[in-house]
Amino acid sequence: MEIDTQRLERLLEQFRVGEVGLKEVISQLKAMPYQDLDFAKVDHHRELRRGFPEVILGQGKTPEQISAISEAILENSDRLLVTRVDQGVFEEVKKKVPDASYSPRAKAIVVNRRREVAMITGIVVVSGGTSDLPVAEEAALTAELMGCQVKHIIDVGVSGLHRLLSHLPSLQHARVIVAVAGMEGALPSVVAGLVAAPVIAVPTSIGYGASFEGIAPLLTMLNSCAPGVSVVNIDNGFGAGYLAALINMASVQGTAEK
């Protein structure tokens, strides 16, 4: 662990004699340790700062690197998420982490060792077409691992608006909605015009030539005329799910504190 031991000893001594309080100790600990694996520096206090451990982007990493980082994270956390990996990488990780599971659709590895956690309701993930499901699944998987219950509404693109409107009660009861769509990317604007909740728009790279691998829906979503829409990058289901969980949890916490 790369940590300034003198600084840590001084901080703990100050706490022991009452010079600093517990909140100050926690605040300073948030910025201290990481583990140097030569090819990666694992941030073990990410969970302390953000409420969720560091997530591994598998793309561009070798199976051996992913396995080593996964083991390091699980030494200090009860949850693990690895995104953008194939079945072969999962098989390598499972040799080191037997309780790991794999979502073929989301292309993600998950470990959840928490027991009897009450899931927070309030998130709805809406996808325009079946081809958008991998990105939508990545968003849902992320939010669920962060402790939120997710309702899926699948294949309700704007080319058949009646399919979306049949789910209007579920949409209107959501605290936050993730809207995933490719092609022209109009779904988030339509959804945002029907609900009070914030909408996180996710453009996907699905579509014919003029969609430019997600650029067309990205620009549509950025130019949404409906208020309350924020946009993440192309195919970034993880980012959308993470943000949705933060909003959902903050909303519940804010209501509880009133």
Per-residue pLDDT tens over the stretch 171-206: 999 999 999 999 999 999 999 999 999 999 999 999
What does the pLDDT read at residue 46? 85
User: What is the pLDDT averaged over residues 34-38?
Assistant: 83
State which of 58, 93, 112 marks the end of a domain: 112
Same domain, 100 and 48: yes
Task: Identify the domain containing residue 36 by its residue range.
Answer: 28-112
In a domain, 101, yes or no: yes
Pick from 121, 124, 122, 120: which is nearest to 192 by CA?
A: 124
**List of long-range contacts for 205-210, beta carbons under 8 Å, 24+ apart:** 205/234, 205/235, 206/129, 206/131, 206/132, 206/182, 207/182, 207/183, 208/183
Residue 76 pLDDT class (50, 70, 90 cuts): confident
Residue 63 pLDDT class (50, 70, 90 cuts): very high
User: What is the pLDDT averaged over residues 52-76?
Assistant: 93
Do 163 and 109 touch, CB atoms closer than 8 A? no
CATH value at residue 242: 3.40.50.1970
In a domain, 201, yes or no: yes
In a domain, 41, yes or no: yes
In a domain, 5, yes or no: no
Query: 30 or 103, which is more confident?
Result: 103
User: What is the pLDDT averaged over residues 142-167?
Assistant: 94
User: How many structural domains does the chain have?
Assistant: 2
What does the pLDDT read at residue 194? 95
In a domain, 13, yes or no: no
What does the pLDDT read at residue 5? 59
State which of 112, 139, 155 marks the end of a domain: 112
State which of 53, 83, 112 marks the end of a domain: 112
Q: Which helix (H) or strand (E) holds 137?
A: helix 133-145
Q: Which helix (H) or strand (E) holds 245?
A: helix 237-257
